[in-house]
Amino acid sequence: GNSVTQMEGPVTLSEEAFLTINCTYTATGYPSLFWYVQYPGEGLQLLLKATKADDKGSNKGFEATYRKETTSFHLEKGSVQVSDSAVYFCALGSSNTGKLIFGQGTTLQVKP
Amino acid sequence: DAGVIQSPRHEVTEMGQEVTLRCKPISGHDYLFWYRQTMMRGLELLIYFNNNVPIDDSGMPEDRFSAKMPNASFSTLKIQPSEPRDSAVYFCASSLGLVGTQYFGPGTRLLVL
């Protein structure tokens, strides 16, 4: 079945450091891939998405490229800020059912 | 433009009591999803509706859980009787189209004592 695996956290970085959060997936068909962010005490917000192979999603300085050959969708940001501290979820959307399958989430803490 | 609205934001109840969680999706969205988030199991899809009709309830943990969507602007998730292991954050999300982007509400944090 479909599944998503994220790198375990927490990830602790200093402000302006480079961020990578790894995400790999297993899926049949042609899923869409998403990154959601959850700030403390809030719901999930869509950060970016990609709907087909080689697509790059980007938003707020974050980027992720849909790599079919490596079944990956790693999240990157060149220079993190304290305000980026949150939990990041990688998710796979089934092209057949639309159901989202989430990874376990990665907590990012950025220190000044 | 209002997002997905959930109420209550926090609920504390005693074991055995009935709990009702409420959701108002984004106007015009035709899909509504209920999720549960726990430390142990992460985010799990419980049930989803299309045009007010339940499509897939395979994620509903047991018969104590039920969900309804009487109209396009309102859905409820009910737990009766509640148990301590039901303590979690429950999210509602809505989308336009089956594979449209899902927009999440702020969640209801449930604690069953």
Among B42, B98, B103, beta carbon nearest to A98: B98
Q: Rounded mean pLDDT of A94-103? A: 82
Average pLDDT, chain B: 94
Radius of gyration of chain A (CA): 13
Query: Bigger pLDDT: B44 or A99?
Result: B44
Query: Bigger pLDDT: B30 or B98?
Result: B30
The answer to whether residues B93 and B5 touch, using CB atoms and an 8 Å cutoff, is no
Q: What is the pLDDT of residues A4-62, one digit of tens each?
A: 999 888 999 999 999 999 999 999 888 999 999 999 888 899 999 999 999 999 999 99
For the record, the structure tokens of A40 come out as 């403390």
State yes or no: pLDDT of B100 exceeds 90.
Answer: no
Q: What is the pLDDT of residues B35-45, one digit of tens each?
A: 999 988 889 99
Q: Rounded mean pLDDT of B95-99? A: 87
Q: What 3-state DSSP class applies to B14? A: coil
Q: Rounded mean pLDDT of A71-81? A: 97
Q: CB neighbours (10 Å) of residue B14?
A: 10
State yes or no: pLDDT of B8 exceeds 70.
Answer: yes
b/e code B24-56 from CB counts within 10 Å (16+ = b)? bbbeebbbbbbbbbeeeebbebbbbbbeeebbb
In whole angstroms, give the CA distance from residue B78 to residue B67: 6
C-alpha distance from B105 to closest chain A C-alpha (Å): 6
For the record, the structure tokens of A7 come out as 């790198």
Nearest residue of B to residue A34, measured between CA atoms: B101
Per-residue model confidence (pLDDT) at position B1: 62
DSSP string, A52-95: STT-EEEETTEEEE-BTTTTB--EEESS--GGG-EEEEEEEE-T
Average pLDDT, chain A: 93
Residues of B with CB under 8 A from a CB of A: 4, 31, 33, 42-43, 45, 48, 56, 91, 93, 95, 97-107
Nearest residue of B to residue A102, measured between CA atoms: B43
Q: What 3-state DSSP class applies to A38? A: strand
**Alpha-carbon distances, residue A62 vs A34, A59, B22, B52 (angstroms):** 12, 5, 33, 35
Q: Is the CB of residue A95 less than 8 Å away from at least one CB of chain B?
A: yes
Interface test mutation site (partner A, options B6, B43, B60, max chain A beta carbons within 10 A): B43
C-alpha distance from B15 to closest chain A C-alpha (Å): 24
